Amino acid sequence: MTGKPGGGDSPVSGRRGEIDRATSLIESARNLVIFTGAGMSAESGIPTFRGEDGLWQGYRPEHLATPEAFERSPEVVRSWYRWRRDLIEKVQPHRGHQALASWCLHSGKKSCVITQNVDGLHQRSGCPDVVELHGSIRHDRCHRCGQRALDLDAVFCSCGGPLRPGVVWFGEPLPEAAVDRSLEQIDDCDVMVVIGTSAVVHPAAGMVFRALEIGASVIEVNPAPVLPAPVLHISGTAKEILPRIFSTGSVNGENPA
């Protein structure tokens, strides 16, 4: 393992068979879909909803990320999102993001990233095709008319409605266009790589099982894998594993760096 990212004695060596199988599946894919959850961003320093670091000023995130919370206490919700935006601005995509983006850009294969994350780290790393299932924290939208707003300091829309983060909250439907695009890509894929998701937030999590239902090969990268057989499980973090399974060098017949 000397020369591989992570050092010669990396515990990844004990998963070499799974990593080699995943790399082979990715190399042979006709249309690859990558599905990412909060664990993908956590290694860049972004707290997860369900992690121990998810608490903010005594609030649980799931108690703030609802239309009812915004209607009841809009300034509290806006303050939480200002804190989250400030945090996101200070972090960078990690080497797992970068390896994935490089592969999507240079492998010459058809691919699409579907993410539950709202932080934009995939786009910042250079991924060319990203579907944001839960919207984006990088812009606001009107809670009344839905119009998008880029001025994050504004409080009200031109229609008079209150501006809120452009994300999907608990109890709200996913954006129809994002769902349609995701299902179109999944129904045409032959390999899906699932990274850092608990697979419990529906309906987004159902897309992973849809890939299994259509017969696609599914690879899960997670510190504690959660998906059922016949998924190929690789126990590990995105930062640790993705540089090994997404290598443009291996696609070109070279040894992965």
Do residue 56 and residue 122 come from a single domain? Answer: no
pLDDT of residue 211: 95
Active-site choice (94, 97, 122, 134): 134
Residue 223, pLDDT score: 93
Q: Is 29 in the same domain as 99?
A: yes
Establish if 257 belongs to a structural domain.
no
**Domain span at 58:** 47-90+136-167
What confidence category does residue 128 fall into, taking pLDDT thresholds of 50, 70 and 90? very high
Does residue 114 share a domain with residue 19? yes
C-alpha–C-alpha distance, residues 139 and 244, integer Å: 34
pLDDT in tens, 194-215: 999 987 777 888 899 999 999 9
Q: Are 236 and 5 in contact (CB under 8 A)?
A: no
For range 37-43, the mean pLDDT: 93
Tell me which of 149, 167, 185 is where a domain ends.
167
Q: How far apart are CA 49 and CA 198, in angstroms?
A: 11
How many Å apart are CA 197 and CA 169, to the nearest integer? Answer: 17
Burial class for 226, CB neighbours closer than 10 Å (0-12, 13-18, 19+) = middle
Indicate whether 73 and 162 sit together in one domain.
Answer: yes
Are 230 and 143 members of one domain? no
Give tens-digit pLDDT for 51-104.
Answer: 555 556 557 788 899 999 999 999 999 999 999 999 999 999 999 999 999 999
Same domain flag for 23 and 147: no
Q: What is the mean pLDDT of the chain?
A: 88
Does residue 122 form part of some domain? yes
Does a structural domain hold residue 153?
yes
- In a domain, residue 52? The reply is yes
The pLDDT value given to residue 255: 39
Quick check: 3 pLDDT over 50?
no
- Percent of residues, the chain, with pLDDT higher than 70: 87
Residue 145 has pLDDT above 60, yes or no: yes
As a whole number, mean pLDDT of residues 229-234 equals 95
> Active-site residue 134, yes or no?
yes
Residues 111 and 227 in one domain: yes
Q: Which residues contact 143 (CB under 8 A, 6 or more apart)?
A: 67, 70, 71, 161, 162, 163, 164
Question: How many structural domains are present in the chain?
Answer: 2
Do 152 and 30 have their domain in common? no
- Supply the pLDDT for residue 14: 66
What is the structure's pLDDT at 198? 83
Looking at residue 200, what is its pLDDT?
Answer: 74
- Given a cut of 50, whether residue 253 has pLDDT beyond it is no
Q: Find the mean pLDDT for residues 135-146.
A: 96
Domain end position, chosen among 167, 182, 211: 167
What residue type is 99 in one-letter code? A
Do both 150 and 226 map to the same domain?
A: no
Q: Are residues 144 and 179 both part of a single domain?
A: no
Residue 110, domain member (yes or no): yes
* Mean pLDDT of the region 35-61: 77
Residue 117 in domain: yes
On whether both 178 and 53 belong to a single domain, the answer is: no
Give the domain CATH number at 33: 3.40.50.1220
Query: pLDDT value at position 2?
Result: 35
Per-residue pLDDT, 131: 98
What pLDDT score does 106 carry? 95
In a domain, 151, yes or no: yes
